[in-house]
């Protein structure tokens, strides 16, 4: 696609979705379903470095 910036990767959009969901405290199964991971183990294995944002 010509109009996309150089170096753009569609896979990066998955990270843009998953990281805020996890940081906001979304359940792993919710993130798994949105990313269409076959296993719930894939989600924390891939995004385990993302930490939930403390509340309060």
Could you read off the pLDDT of 2-29 as tens digits, one per residue?
787 888 788 778 888 888 888 888 888 8
Quote the pTM value.
0.61
Rounded Cα distance, 21 and 26, in Å: 5
* SS3 per-residue string spanning 5-56: CCCCCCHHHHHHHHHHHHHCCCCHHHHHHHHCCCCCCHHHHHHCCCCCCCCC
Average per-residue pLDDT for the chain: 78
Query: Where residue 55 falls among pLDDT bands split at 50, 70, 90?
Result: low
In this structure, how many other beta carbons lie within 10 angstroms of the beta carbon of residue 4?
9
pLDDT for res 37: 84
Report the candidate in 21, 41, 19, 20 with the shortest Cα–Cα distance to residue 30.
21
């Amino acid at each position: 696609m010509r109009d996309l910036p150089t170096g753009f990767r569609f896979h990066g959009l998955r990270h843009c979705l998953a990281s805020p969901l996890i940081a906001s405290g979304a359940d792993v199964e919710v993130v798994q379903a949105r990313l269409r991971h076959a296993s719930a183990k894939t989600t924390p294995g891939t995004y385990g470095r993302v930490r939930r944002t403390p509340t309060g």
